[in-house]
């Protein structure tokens, strides 16, 4: 009798983790997740993800949850040895750029050391299983801000034709300002690549742009669109930090992220790196996002302007998706911005009832 493959998802109650659990379950996987609701410790009650855990338990038959901290090396080694998963999808993290400076040790221990714990556990127990790591575009530090830009009415745009399709994986991650978060994530990104190159494990780093969807417990310091839409619905004031509100982000729905992970699982490669975002087609500035949500909800966005950008914040960033599409031609972005905005707005409306 064959049993279905097991996917181990770290950070299973987060935006990406929970989507991955649901997606891989739909494709016949058994799902084990671990998450200790650390997001509530990072961001307070608004970051609490217990509602997601309740949903995972209700919606995924046989979902097994482990309330483990990724910093607990013995527990991680033991869990992975016991489960020997067919795929490891690593999404647990301290995810905020700005939050990291107030907790440098915790940030590094969770993001870098936690990833090392998991990699070593994988190497010992299941080195053939694909190891998929959620990295971030912050590994490039503020290097994208060195590119020549053009100012348009509501957004910035790359002015160099070499970047017309966005930021490629070849951009240097070295010698730029990262924030402590970007540095701890760069450490984990390099470790994941090294466990691929050095030990031959099928690993990939997905350097995410703005990942989004209705399952985000969005807070001011993390979850760009989710938080912006929540502000609109609740009539809260949204603070714009610098760059005239024209800073550009590329947004990708969490399900399109999960779809890419599944494609990688089916045809894994060793030590790969991909820039995973919504690409040019799903890019917008904060000002553009205001317009879009106003047209959906009919509510005027309340905002104030702080004339200082967040340290190391990108002025214009969208991912060049050509490498991903060349390696995995069946994958593409399926959710455009109007769909994403409407879905997040209705998700918040349901949750606040």
Q: Catalog residues that contact ligand NAD under the rule CB under 6 A.
A: 11, 13-17, 34-39, 49, 69-71, 91-93, 95, 110, 114, 134, 136, 185, 208, 210-211
Q: How near is the Cβ of 41 to ligand NAD at its closest, in Å?
A: 8
Which CB atom, from 38 or from 203, has the smaller least distance to ligand NAD? 38
List the one residue out of 246, 213, 219 whose CA is nearest residue 341: 213
Q: How near is the Cβ of 38 to ligand NAD at its closest, in Å?
A: 3
Q: How near is the Cβ of 215 to ligand NAD at its closest, in Å?
A: 8
Which CB atom, from 185 or from 262, has the smaller least distance to ligand NAD? 185
Report yes or no: 280 and 250 within 8 Å, Cβ to Cβ.
yes
CB neighbour burial string for 89-105, b if at least 16 within 10 angstroms, e if fewer? bbbbbbbbbbbbeebee
Q: Is residue 64 packed enough to be buried (19+ CB in 10 Å), middle (13-18) or exposed (0-12)?
A: middle
List the one residue out of 3, 2, 31 whose CA is nearest residue 258: 31
Which CB atom, from 205 or from 287, has the smaller least distance to ligand NAD? 205
Which CB atom, from 47 or from 268, has the smaller least distance to ligand NAD? 47
What are the start-end ranges of the E strands in 209-334?
210-212, 237-241, 248-253, 272-276, 283-285, 302-306
Q: How near is the Cβ of 287 to ligand NAD at its closest, in Å?
A: 19
Q: How near is the Cβ of 14 to ligand NAD at its closest, in Å?
A: 2
Which CB atom, from 45 or from 329, has the smaller least distance to ligand NAD? 45
Which CB atom, from 145 or from 226, has the smaller least distance to ligand NAD? 226
Closest CB to ligand NAD belongs to which residue? 14
Token code pair at residue 121: 């556990």
Phi, psi angle pair for 309, to nearest 5°: -80, 160
Q: To which H or E segment does residue 199 belong?
A: helix 179-199
Q: How near is the Cβ of 183 to ligand NAD at its closest, in Å?
A: 13
Whole-number CA gyration radius for the chain: 19
Which CB atom, from 94 or from 128, has the smaller least distance to ligand NAD? 94
List the one residue out of 341, 214, 256 whose CA is nearest residue 20: 256
Q: How near is the Cβ of 226 to ligand NAD at its closest, in Å?
A: 8
């Amino acid at each position: 009798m064959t049993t279905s493959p097991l996917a181990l998802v770290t950070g299973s109650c987060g935006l990406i983790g929970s989507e991955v659990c649901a997606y891989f379950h739909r494709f016949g996987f058994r799902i084990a997740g671990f998450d200790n609701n650390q997001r509530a410790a990072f961001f307070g009650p608004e970051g609490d993800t217990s509602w997601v855990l309740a949903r995972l338990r209700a919606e995924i038959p046989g979902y097994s949850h482990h309330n483990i901290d990724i910093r607990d090396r013995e527990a991680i080694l033991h869990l992975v040895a016991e489960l020997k998963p067919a795929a490891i999808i690593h999404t647990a993290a301290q995810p905020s750029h700005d939050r990291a400076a107030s907790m440098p040790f915790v940030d590094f221990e969770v993001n870098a050391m936690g990833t090392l714990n998991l990699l070593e556990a994988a190497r010992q127990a299941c080195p053939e299983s694909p190891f998929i790591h959620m990295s971030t575009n912050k590994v490039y530090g503020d290097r994208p801000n060195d590119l020549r830009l053009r100012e348009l009415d509501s957004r910035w745009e790359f002015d160099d034709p070499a970047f017309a399709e966005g930021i490629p994986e070849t951009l240097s991650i070295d010698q730029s300002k990262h924030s402590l978060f970007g540095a701890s994530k760069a450490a984990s990104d390099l470790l994941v690549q090294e466990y691929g190159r050095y030990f031959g494990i099928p690993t990939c780093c997905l350097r995410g742009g703005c990942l989004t969807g209705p399952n985000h417990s969005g807070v001011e310091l993390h979850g760009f669109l989710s938080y912006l839409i929540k502000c609109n619905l609740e009539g809260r004031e949204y603070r714009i930090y610098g760059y005239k509100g024209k800073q550009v982000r590329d947004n990708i729905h969490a399900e399109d992220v999960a779809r890419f992970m599944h494609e990688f699982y089916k045809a894994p490669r060793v030590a790969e790196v991909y820039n995973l975002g919504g690409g040019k087609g799903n890019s917008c500035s904060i000002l553009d996002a205001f317009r879009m949500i106003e047209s959906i909800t009919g509510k005027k966005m309340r905002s104030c302007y702080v004339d200082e950008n967040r340290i190391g914040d990108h002025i214009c960033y969208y991912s060049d998706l050509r490498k991903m599409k060349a390696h995995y031609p069946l994958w593409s972005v399926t959710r455009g911005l109007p769909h994403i905005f409407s879905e997040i707005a209705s998700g918040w409306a349901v949750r606040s009832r």
